[in-house]
Amino acid sequence: MVTERAELPITPGQEGEFERQFASGIALLRTAKGCLSASLARGVESPSKYLLLIEWESLAAHQAFAATESFASFVGLIRPCLAGKPNTEHFAPLKNP
């Protein structure tokens, strides 16, 4: 399993529209092959910044989804609200922390 962390910078004043578009598109993420869960949080100190966390079966599952029409549709929904490029990283759990 890997966790994808995507920090999404939203144009100030577009937060409500972003949340509406994200709500209509989150099913595209949650129904993607290999997606285990997806959640969104809003910044407390920086309310125009959002944190998207997606748990994938593997990095390959995420990469496969990124090549689909569903991914393009999801990005098309939120892109107009983005203030810049999302900062994305992947994390793997430690086996014996």
Q: Is residue 12 part of a domain?
A: yes
The number of domains in the chain is 1
Q: Which domain holds residue 34?
A: 2-86
Q: How far apart are alpha carbons 75 and 25 in whole angstroms?
A: 9
Q: Is residue 75 part of a domain?
A: yes
Q: Is residue 94 part of a domain?
A: no
Q: What confidence tens digit (pLDDT) does each residue in 81-93 have?
A: 999 999 999 999 9
Residuewise pLDDT in 10s, the chain (97 residues): 999 999 999 999 999 999 999 999 999 999 999 999 999 999 999 999 999 999 999 999 999 999 999 999 999 999 999 999 999 999 999 988 7
* CATH number for 76: 3.30.70.100
Q: Is residue 97 part of a domain?
A: no
Q: Is residue 95 part of a domain?
A: no
Q: Is residue 72 part of a domain?
A: yes
Distances (CA, A) of 56 to 2, 3, 5, 38, 76: 5, 6, 11, 9, 21
pLDDT of residue 95: 87
